[in-house]
């Protein structure tokens, strides 16, 4: 009987549980034994595993977070640090390893795949959406909708007091959440790490928006846009324009909550495809969905390439911000 290990790694993301459920149940249906590794790569180093059956994943689809727990594991960055994981996979005779995680995790998955006989696939899951090889990562849609819900609420108070708001959303090195939540939330401007802003231009755009009669002026800032994030932007705009503003940092609220239908369906598609890929003998790939099709990208390629955001969306935002 083949044996599969499964873990979640890095920042948790809504929909990870749906992916766990899909992987476990598809593997069991194919006659594969399944063990869950707790606490991500740290658990893999420590051999912290549990046996999983169909009931282990019952009633979890609607839950945020990950029932397997996760970790940010510094030891995993070096070959020596990863050695106990290689030894565990060998000793426990693990044929397949499914890793559910984001861009940081990809570094570890790619490195580990070169050091072990165990076949590895990664299912991309992070709220940041910054994994190459898939249009969307599991958790992104939920995070955008959580941010949007907050922006809509902020709009009520901004409108009532004719106020300028800077809303900071997550995205350490990527502006995907900021761009989508900003467009959907009717932001005047979106500040993202992929684009270097001119603060004079930004200040003029905000002043013009008020001159045109805007009652609520919302700018969405990706946390990775600059050191100091939205507070720094507010300070600089105040210095240039004299305009008072309020800052709201959405932070970890975006990581929690029940996954949207889109995230659950994506998680199920990718979870099933992960098992099929392994059974077809493929190894060391990220399973993604591009234009509605399942796509397999080598881990090494996904690690090296940076996912580009859609600059057309930036143009759209400018066109319709009014
Ligand atoms: O998982 C991605 C992410 O939420 C980023 O958007 C954010 O910068 C980071 O994780 C925060 O990580 P932590 O919860 O470890 O502080």
What confidence score (pLDDT) does residue 318 get? 85
Degrees to nearest 5, angle at CA 273 with 267 and 277: 145
Judge whether 49 and 60 are in contact, CB under 8 Å: no
Neighbouring residues of 167: CB distance < 8 A, sequence distance ≥ 6: 147, 150, 151, 154, 185, 187, 218, 219, 220, 221, 230, 247, 248, 250
d(CA 279, CA 273): 10
Looking at the annotation, which residues are catalytic? 128
* For ligand 1, atom 15: residue with the closest CA: 11
What confidence score (pLDDT) does residue 321 get? 82
- Domain ranges for the chain, please list them: 3-139+259-304, 143-255
Ligand 1 centroid to 117 CA: how many Å? Answer: 31
Degrees to nearest 5, angle at CA 116 with 111 and 118: 115
Q: Taking the CB of residue 142, how many other CB atoms lie within 10 A of it?
A: 25
- Output the ligand 1 site: residues, CB below 6 A: 10-11, 72, 102, 126-128, 170-172, 223, 255
Closest-lying ligand 1 atom to the alpha carbon of residue 223: 8
What confidence score (pLDDT) does residue 143 get? 98
Ligand 1 binding pocket mutation candidate from 14, 73, 128, 139 (most atoms within 8 A of CB): 128
What residues are paired with 53 via a beta bridge?
A: none
* For ligand 1, atom 7: residue with the closest CA: 172
What confidence score (pLDDT) does residue 269 get? 98
d(CA 230, CA 250): 11
Chain-centroid distance, C-alpha 21: 19
Fold (CATH) for 3-139+259-304: Rossmann fold (3.40.50)
Tell me the mean pLDDT per 10 residues along the chain, length 322: 98 98 98 98 98 98 98 97 98 98 98 98 98 98 98 98 98 96 96 94 95 94 96 98 98 98 98 98 98 98 96 90 78
What confidence score (pLDDT) does residue 100 get? 98
Ligand 1 binding pocket mutation candidate from 255, 257, 307 (most atoms within 8 A of CB): 255
Which two tokens mark 314? 């930036």
d(CA 299, CA 121): 8
Which two tokens mark 98? 């499914």
* For ligand 1, atom 3: residue with the closest CA: 11
What confidence score (pLDDT) does residue 82 get? 98
d(CA 256, CA 32): 31
What confidence score (pLDDT) does residue 293 get? 98
pTM of the model: 0.97
d(CA 221, CA 192): 6
Q: Is residue 20 packed enough to be buried (19+ CB in 10 Å), middle (13-18) or exposed (0-12)?
A: buried
**Phi, psi dihedrals of residue 200, rounded to the nearest 5°:** -65, -45
Q: Does domain 143-255 have CATH number 3.40.50.460?
A: yes
What confidence score (pLDDT) does residue 232 get? 97
d(CA 217, CA 164): 5
């Amino acid at each position: 009987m083949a044996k599969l290990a499964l873990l979640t790694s890095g920042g948790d993301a809504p929909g990870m549980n749906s992916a766990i459920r899909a992987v476990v149940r598809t593997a069991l249906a194919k006659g594969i034994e399944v063990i869950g590794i707790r606490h991500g790569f740290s658990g893999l180093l420590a051999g912290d595993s549990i046996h999983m059956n169909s009931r282990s994943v019952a009633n979890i689809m609607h839950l945020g977070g990950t029932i397997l727990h996760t970790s940010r594991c510094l030891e995993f960055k070096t070959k020596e640090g990863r050695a106990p994981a290689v030894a565990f996979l060998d000793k426990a005779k693990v044929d397949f390893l499914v890793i559910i995680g984001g861009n940081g995790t990809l570094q570890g998955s790619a490195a580990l795949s070169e050091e072990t006989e165990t076949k590895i696939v990664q299912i991309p899951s992070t709220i940041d959406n910054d994994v190459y090889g898939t249009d969307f990562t599991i958790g992104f849609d939920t995070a955008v909708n959580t941010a949007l819900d907050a922006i809509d609420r902020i709009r009520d108070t901004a409108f009532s007091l004719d106020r300028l708001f800077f809303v900071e959303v997550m995205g350490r090195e990527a502006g995907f959440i900021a761009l989508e939540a900003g467009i959907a939330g009717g932001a005047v401007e979106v500040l993202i790490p992929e684009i270097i802003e001119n603060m004079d231009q930004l200040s003029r755009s905000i002043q013009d928006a008020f001159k045109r009669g805007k009652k609520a002026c919302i700018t969405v800032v990706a946390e990775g846009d600059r050191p100091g994030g939205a507070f720094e932007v507010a300070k600089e705009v105040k210095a240039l324009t004299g305009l008072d503003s309020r800052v709201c940092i959405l932070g970890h609220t975006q990581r929690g909550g029940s996954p949207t239908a889109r995230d659950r369906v994506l998680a199920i598609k990718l979870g099933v495809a992960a098992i099929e890929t392994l059974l077809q003998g493929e190894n060391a790939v990220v399973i993604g969905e591009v234009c509605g099709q399942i796509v397999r990208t080598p881990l090494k390629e996904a690690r090296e390439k940076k996912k580009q955001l859609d600059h057309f969306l930036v143009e759209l935002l400018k066109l319709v911000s009014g």
